[in-house]
Structure 1
């Protein structure tokens, strides 16, 4: 069965997992990263369903895999191959790392190397950390990378119906997360963020954190805008691409 067929066969269940994970992340008893079970942990690889989205103005992609919500793999390397495809290597987890036994979609932000044009289709292969899969990410007409990242929020559609990736920036020890989403117009979505408690001590670094969000009924709608609301105010950003679920 081809990668595209695997993704099509599993898309309904994958979308259901996304909705469930937004309602209750990180459930179940912990296990070590090397343990067997329903999660991918950090053990052997098998062909798995993945997805991806353009974020940070085409400077990055969000790679969607399935596994423990508390052991999201990090990108170790990203390389443009001679045929123009992108190979992403995920860092292996320490086998002693405790991971919850849930099995949910989660996002790894990947910084793209030079040579990737976000206006063109991109074939992506992902390996490592129990993942071995591929996906074709549609290019976005007119999208060009203009200078270094401004480290501002961004979002991009995946191939799954109603599902998009949201990228936020902030302290690595105090990341915000999405608490709810709502379709608020013909081409508008509002997402509420958790905020950061005023009395919480956070490191002064600036790190990316990526997560999934869901908005029903916007398949095929272009130029959807996302309003992010938080205790610090609100910001309106485009959701890059168009939600065109794979058949």
Structure 2
């Protein structure tokens, strides 16, 4: 678990640079559009939209940008044709990779994802070929520096709200929930003014793979970088133990 938490924190810090932030805002903008199309523009009546708004806030997206995105999606609801697609495959050294994308052109996205894998000597597999190695969980990351509550108080708040697990890392607290309980727990923490560095339903590896060869590490990073640059790609999950 610690590897995943550290990865989440590294990702959060990385997103502070302008180029990465632009990609993040594009990703969240698409999620806002899909959430509005599916459940309407009123967050009070659309739990999925509330979750995306929380994700946007955690990524430091300005309030007016969020509101513009919702308004635009509401006005253009009939023109929003994004589809959710998932790809699974293998990277160097037997690493497992899951790619989630929102796209208006599945053929383009499939070709781009396949190209990213080939750049790092990986292979796209069939649906289900690696997802069994991951657990789907709601995950909330709380930065210790931003949180006024001590660990015990925060843990009790999270568990009372319905969280499954609470873990303390060097620089953060990690709260895990069942996917169906994620919104309830996140909203409870929001009511308590708990600052969240990241809040999303994610895929957590059951075990991590250590890469011994520098060539494998380089090639896997190449795959991840190519996927990260693809605007259709929303999330990428893998089981690489980056600490070793």
**Interval containing the TM-score (normalised by the shorter chain):** under 0.3
Q: Decide which structure has greater helix share.
A: 2
Larger relative contact order, structure 1 or 2 (CA cutoff 8 Å, min sep 6)? 2
| TM-score (normalised: structure 1) | 0.25
Normalising by structure 2, what TM-score? 0.25
